[in-house]
Structure 1
Amino acid sequence: MSEPGVLTEGRARPARYLGLAGAVLLGVAGWLGGVLAQVPPTGPWSAPRGPAATICWLAGTALMVGAWWALRAGAPSTRWAYVTAGLWLLPLLVTPPLASRDVYSYACQGWSYAAGQDPYRVGVAAAGCPWVDAVAPIWRDTPAPYGPFFVLLAALAAVLGGGLTGTLVLLRLYALAGVLLAALCLPGLARAAGVPTRRAAWLALASPLVGVHLVAGAHNDAVMLGLLLFGLLVLVRLPGKPRALVVAGMLLGLAVAVKATAVVVLPFAALAAVRGRYTWPALLRDGGWLGGAVLVTLAVTSVLSGLGLGWVGGLARSGDSEQWTSPPTAVGFVVDYVGELAGHRPGAVPVTRAVALLALAGLLVVLWWRAWTALRRLNDVRQRVHRLAVARPRVTLLSAGLALAATVALAPVFHPWYATWPLLVLAGSATRTTWFVVPAAVASFLTLPDGTTVARYSKAPGALAMTVLLVVLAGWASRGWRARRR
């Protein structure tokens, strides 16, 4: 007998094939008007087959999102979820890059390093990359913002690939490996947190964001997430054991050495590392093992690559793009519009972004302290061992997912694939899912197959809509907080 609210395999079959039809349409859109190296970015409607590509893209995205949403309560079984997500990935594995030109940046940065250049000091254009025309113009003269481990992987792809096509194939295989690693870790994380594995696997792997952006777009976020989830799995399965802490620290260190975003998870990973009662000495002991392994891994990758910490400077250039899809940027736009009416020069975006980063720092501290307090409270609660075993990893994993969600919401820049960071962690730890599934579904519609963003054509109305949404959410949260206080 199936669980309440969960469809049987027979009733869920239409969703499987509707989503597959959507994935095929997205693959067709990629061949008609995807991110091709030899075609300069001219906009979705001016390209010869741009209208047909856009229609296929919108129809395919709608079908995939609709099918994913229909089973948001969980697939009929975990195996069914894996098989269906795998079917949806097949058309996206053989299409040109979709929805972003970042993979060409990876290829050129890898080529630059293999050619003896420092990608943290020299842009790919100045380095002489032969594929620079395929890179988005805004990133041709900027240093690489990625960690040394990923630069090494990109250089290996450039050397073994033998050309642009081979390099892109290897970069997509890296991304696929990251998604497969995450898929292997999800059931263990979900079971540790007391979440149905069939629901966690469906929400995380069948999301159109994963197929379109992590696999077809070959974003390095897939590699980061695979390493991150593997490290968290080791921690929740083997907390407090020195050897396991070292392994988990190495995995988390490699995740940070791919993309710096993973660093926000480290304080919560330290909580997951504690064995036994939650006390400050235990946190310093077990968290120290974990943190030491992370630092050693970062140091080793920096020394082996010969690049040091130059990638930290590249992070400052990631905010060169300004789009209303980032809430702080949208608020800055609206403030500028109001200021222009009063005769003031625009300049609010850097201010609102700085305020948001300060708010993020404070929010991360609050989230960590709430998690620590909740875990300390478990020390004194007399419950069955099984309930405690579930409560501990759920608190740490959920807090890590919330930290990633806050990072995405308050970052200076938002791209749709950023939503996969919290999505994959929260899918395996959150009991309520609508609040993060809805934004992920909306984010699926924010790009077009050639990499053009919807924000490009809707700056003013998008900024106003985002600001109004933030005000509404703030009012709703305030009323809920006052109700709880009463």
Structure 2
Amino acid sequence: MPNTGANASPSRYRWLGLLGSLVLAAGALTSGALPAAATGPALRASGGAGTTLVFAGLTVLTAAWLLLGRAVDAPPADVPPTDIHAARRAARPSGTRWLAVTLGWWAAPLLLLPPLFSRDVYSYLAQGAMVAGGFDVYADGPAVLGGSVAQQVPQVWQHTPAPYGPGFLLLARAAAPLADHPYAGTLLLRLSAVLAVVALAALLPALARALGTDPAGALRLGALNPLVLLHLVAGAHNDAVPLALMLAGLLAATRRRPLLAAVLITLAALVKAPAALALPVAWWIAGRSDDTPGRGRRPRCAVAVLVAAAATTAAVTAAAGTGYGWVGALTTPATAGSWSPSTALGRLAADLLGVAPEGPVGAARLLGAVGAAVALGLLAARVVRRGSEPAAALALAFGALVALGPAFRPWYALWCVVPAAFAARAAGARRAAELACAALAFAVMPDGFGPDRAELVLAAGGLGIGVFAILLMERQITFQERQPVC
């Protein structure tokens, strides 16, 4: 990345990111995860120039995000070292408010698009229709519905049960009247995701202030992030809602409200189960903020948290009327064709041994699960024995769960990145998270399917166009900065 961006005005990169988002949106109109009426039974979008536009816009948007971070964090070149911290505060456009407005600018072109980078939102609509129609979503897949609703769902998910808790199914059932109108249904579910992203933009700085980290940095990494824009906003993934609920619960814990924290985090887990990892963290944070010895009220607090979590689970499950089948359906995302590091290792072992992949893949996934459990135990012990920051441990725990789990998708990384945004203190760790997010932004094709050779060529062309545009703009900035002031 050119070095000139460190001294450029952050406003330049706000406009550059908006340009990238607009170009991406234009390409998505023909290459995104369009309804079956526009794609036919294969559900593959036409691609073509749209794929090139998407990757050109994605390149510009991602580069603008990275360069914006450097421009905001870096002091002017002529500032003495002793004045660097003051200069950074003065040079920052308007802190969190300015960054929140930038998030709105970059998200706006994506709000009315068809789904992008995934067809999961169509599965959400089908599951809501199943609940409304009296089907058991934890035993059957969308195929039982038939008709246009099931037609939108890829074949791999046609016969698989829902992997989500009853909290999400209540939300999906509210969208059931629009299940036969996939575009309108997408907009409704995207609305819930966008509202959750707005909540993230408010909660991240608040948590950073409570924990003594940088609020603007937390907002930039946790919300003004290509993965958030691409997968929570454009893709309308249901990860947005539990992430927002989980952060609200952690904020309640920092304010000595463990019962409210338990209710909020349990609601998050009843949408997507991994959020339950935040329950012991909330208990520990709330207990630590009690009286000075810090441990006298923790046992009573633990009982209260467990009771609140159990009561919330029972109430939401009863309201949804779906029963507790979701507990057994948690492994649904791990199909035979799912990719993850552990799965890839198992398939490599099968190839080397010349055997069928089922056994080695199953063994590798089991080893991954054991490794994740060991990592969680070590992180918990580190917090208890050494007083490590529980919020940072939570980010690392999610990282272990995502990296060692049986299935990986780019938006899963947000479960690690979002808590790291307000918990990480080391600049190197934050920079590594930024670079990982930037790389993962390019991991999925616009229609959500794997690429063929022609699409890879189109994507590479778009990437090249985007890089050329960034280099051209950076060169222009350098030229302007070198001109003498008259």
Q: 1:233 to 1:95 in 2, by over 3 A?
A: same
Amino acid at match of 1:286: C
C-alpha RMSD of the superposition: 2.4
Check conservation: 1:85, 1:206, Cα contact below 8 A: yes
The equivalent of 2:67 in structure 1 is 70
Q: Which runs of 5+ in 1 are unaligned?
A: 376-393, 459-486
CA distance in 1, matches of 2:220, 2:16: 15
Q: Deviations over 1:179-207 (max 9, x none)?
A: 11111111110111211111111111221
State the Cα distance separating 1:457 from its structure 2 match.
Answer: 11
2:379 match:
367
Corresponding letter in the other structure for 1:51: G
Q: Taking structure 2 as the reference length, what is the TM-score of the superposition?
A: 0.82
Preserved contact between residue 356 and residue 411 of structure 1 (Cα < 8 Å)? yes
Q: Paired residue for 1:405?
A: 399
Deviations 1:32-71 (A, max 9, x none): 1111112147587xx54x1212111111111111111113
> Counterparts in 2 of 1:271-286, with a 5 A limit?
271-274=284-287, 275-277=290-292, 281-286=296-301
Q: Is the 8 A contact 1:273 1:287 kept in 2?
A: no
Structure 1 residue 434 and structure 2 residue 431: aligned?
yes
- On the 8 A contact 1:41/1:450 being kept in 2, the answer is no
> Which moves more between the two structures, 395-404 or 281-290?
281-290
Corresponding residue of 1:113:
131
Cα 1:455–1:399 shift into 2, 3 Å: farther
Partners in 1 of 2:421 and 2:282 — Cα distance?
17
Structure 1 distance, partners of 2:309, 2:202, is: 22
Structure 2 vs 1, CA of residues 129 and 354 (structure 1 numbering), >3 Å: closer, same or farther? farther
For residue 345 of structure 1, what is the aligned residue in structure 2? 356
How much has 1:72 moved relative to structure 2? 3.2
Report the counterpart of residue 264 of structure 1 in structure 2. Answer: 277
Structure 1 residue 299 and structure 2 residue 293: aligned?
no
Q: Is the 8 A contact 2:167 2:316 kept in 1?
A: yes
CA separation in 2, counterparts of 1:155 and 1:207? 29
Q: Distance in 2 between matches of 1:295 and 1:412?
A: 27
Contact 1:323 1:456 in 2 (8 A): no
Q: Give a deviation string over 1:342-391, Cα, whole Å, max 9, x none.
A: xx33331111111010110111011111112233xxxxxxxxxxxxxxxx
Gaps of 5+ in 2: 74-91, 456-486
Q: Separation in 2 of the partners of 1:457 and 1:374?
A: 54
User: Who is 1:452 aligned against?
Assistant: 449
> Quick one: distance in 2 between partners of 1:133 and 1:439?
35
Deviation, 1:125, is 1.0
* Identical amino acids, percent of aligned pairs: 37
Matched AA of 1:422: C
User: Is 419-428 or 280-289 further displaced after alignment?
Assistant: 280-289
The DSSP-based 3-state class of the residue aligned with 1:135 is coil
Secondary structure at 2:334's aligned position in 1? helix
Give the match's secondary structure for 1:318: coil
- Cα pair distance change 1:272/1:184, threshold 3 Å: same
- 1:63 counterpart letter in structure 2: V
1:387 aligns to what? none
Matched, 1:335 2:349: yes
| Greater CA drift, 356-365 or 13-22 | 13-22
Question: Contact 2:128–2:169 at 8 Å: present in 1 too?
Answer: yes
Q: Distance in 2 between matches of 1:305 and 1:43?
A: 31
Counterpart residue identity of residue 276, structure 1: D
Equivalenced residue count is: 423
1:453, distance to aligned residue in structure 2 (A): 3.7
**Aligned partners of 1:28 and 1:95 also within 8 Å:** no
Residues 99-248 of structure 1 aligned to structure 2 (within 5 Å)? 99-128=117-146, 130-159=148-177, 163-236=181-254, 238-239=255-256, 244-248=257-261
Q: 2:266 aligns with which of 253, 256, 265?
A: 253
Aligned residue number for residue 443 of structure 1:
440
Cα distance, 1:437 vs structure 2: 1.9
2:100 to 82, 90, 101: 82
Contact 1:68/1:203 (CA < 8 Å) preserved in 2?
Answer: no
Matched to 1:69, the amino acid is: L
Q: Report the AA paired with residue 380 of structure 2.
A: W
